[in-house]
C-alpha cells in the first residue's frame, strides 16, 4: 500500500480525491450565500407621532428690575407667557413723586438761568464798566504822579502808592471782565 501512495499516479489520485471532497464539504462549513447590495447615501425620512408632555429641565425665576409694591397681577402660576408680556403692574406713587421732584428742580434751574440773564449779567456788566473807569483813572493818576515826582513835587512814596493803586485797579478790572464773560449767554 505504501507503494501506491508514493507513486506519481497514486499521489495525483489522492490530490484529486481531496479536492473533490473539499468541494463537496466546503459549502456546509461556509454557510449559505446572501445577496449583497452596494451602499449609497440617501435622505432618511421618518415621522413619529406621539402624545406626551414636555418637562423643563430647570425652573425659570423672574424678578423685577425695580423694587416696588405690586398693584395688579395679570398671570397665574403655570400660565404660558411670551417675551414682552406684562406679568404684573407696580404701584407708581414713588416714581410719580420722583418725577414731580425732578420737575421742581428743573423749574428752579430755569428760574436761576432767567435770574442770571435778568439780574446777574447786567450787574456784572455794570461792575466791569466801573472797574474799567477806576483802572483808567488809576493809570492816569500814576502817569501824573510820576511826572510830578520826577520834577520833585511828589515823593517817591507817593509814586509807589500810585503804582500800587494802578495794579489793584488793573486786577479788579480783569476780575470784572472774567465775571462779565461768564454771565453772558454764550459764556464768552
Domain-embedded: residue 141: yes
Interatomic CA distance for residues 147 and 141, integer angstroms: 10
Q: Which helix (H) or strand (E) holds 51?
A: none
Residues pairing with 89 in the sheet: 72
Domain-embedded: residue 145: yes
Please give the pLDDT value at position 102: 92
User: In a 10 Å sphere around its CB, with 0-12 CB exposed, 13-18 middle and 19+ buried, how is residue 128 labelled?
Assistant: buried
Domain-embedded: residue 160: yes
- What is the DSSP secondary structure assignment for residue 62, as one 8-state letter? -
Please give the pLDDT value at position 139: 95
Domain coverage including residue 177: 114-183
Domain-embedded: residue 172: yes
Please give the pLDDT value at position 187: 56
Domain-embedded: residue 165: yes
Interatomic CA distance for residues 165 and 173, integer angstroms: 12
Interatomic CA distance for residues 166 and 138, integer angstroms: 5
Domain-embedded: residue 71: no
Interatomic CA distance for residues 145 and 143, integer angstroms: 6
**Count of structural domains within the chain:** 1
- pTM of this structure: 0.40
Please give the pLDDT value at position 130: 95
Domain-embedded: residue 166: yes
For the chain, first and last CA: distance in Å? 138
Q: Which residues, at least 6 apart from 125, have a Cβ–Cβ distance to it below 8 Å?
A: 180, 183
Domain at 164, CATH number = 1.10.287
Please give the pLDDT value at position 166: 95
Compute the C-alpha angle 61/64/68, nearest 5°: 135
Phi-psi map region of 31: left, alpha, beta (phi>0 left; psi -120 to 50 alpha): left
Cell of 144: 501824573
Please give the pLDDT value at position 11: 80
Whole-angstrom CA distances from 36 to 30, 33, 39, 44, 72 are 16, 9, 9, 21, 72
* pLDDT one digit per residue (tens) for the chain, 188 residues: 455 556 777 788 888 888 888 877 877 777 777 788 888 888 877 777 777 776 777 777 767 677 778 888 888 887 888 888 888 888 888 888 888 999 999 999 888 877 777 777 788 889 999 999 999 999 999 999 999 999 999 998 999 999 999 999 999 999 999 988 887 766 55
Q: Which of 19, 22, 40, 18 is nearest to 30 (CA)?
A: 22
Domain-embedded: residue 162: yes
Amino acid at each position: 500500500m505504501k507503494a501506491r501512495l508514493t507513486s506519481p499516479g497514486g499521489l495525483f489520485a489522492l490530490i484529486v480525491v481531496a479536492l473533490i471532497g473539499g468541494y463537496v464539504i466546503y459549502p456546509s462549513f461556509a454557510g449559505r450565500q446572501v445577496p449583497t447590495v452596494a451602499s449609497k447615501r440617501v435622505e432618511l425620512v421618518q415621522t413619529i407621532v406621539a402624545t406626551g408632555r414636555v418637562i423643563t429641565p430647570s425652573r425659570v425665576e423672574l424678578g423685577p428690575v425695580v423694587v416696588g409694591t405690586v398693584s395688579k397681577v395679570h398671570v397665574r402660576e403655570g400660565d404660558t407667557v411670551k417675551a414682552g408680556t406684562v406679568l404684573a403692574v407696580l404701584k407708581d406713587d414713588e416714581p410719580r413723586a420722583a418725577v414731580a421732584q425732578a420737575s421742581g428742580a428743573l423749574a428752579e434751574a430755569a428760574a436761576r438761568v432767567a435770574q442770571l440773564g435778568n439780574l446777574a449779567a447786567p450787574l456784572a456788566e455794570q461792575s466791569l464798566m466801573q472797574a474799567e473807569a477806576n483802572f483808567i483813572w488809576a493809570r492816569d493818576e500814576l502817569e501824573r504822579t510820576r511826572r510830578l515826582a520826577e520834577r520833585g513835587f511828589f515823593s517817591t512814596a507817593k509814586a509807589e502808592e500810585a503804582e500800587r493803586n494802578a495794579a489793584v485797579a488793573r486786577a479788579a478790572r480783569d476780575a470784572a471782565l472774567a465775571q462779565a464773560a461768564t454771565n453772558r449767554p454764550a459764556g464768552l
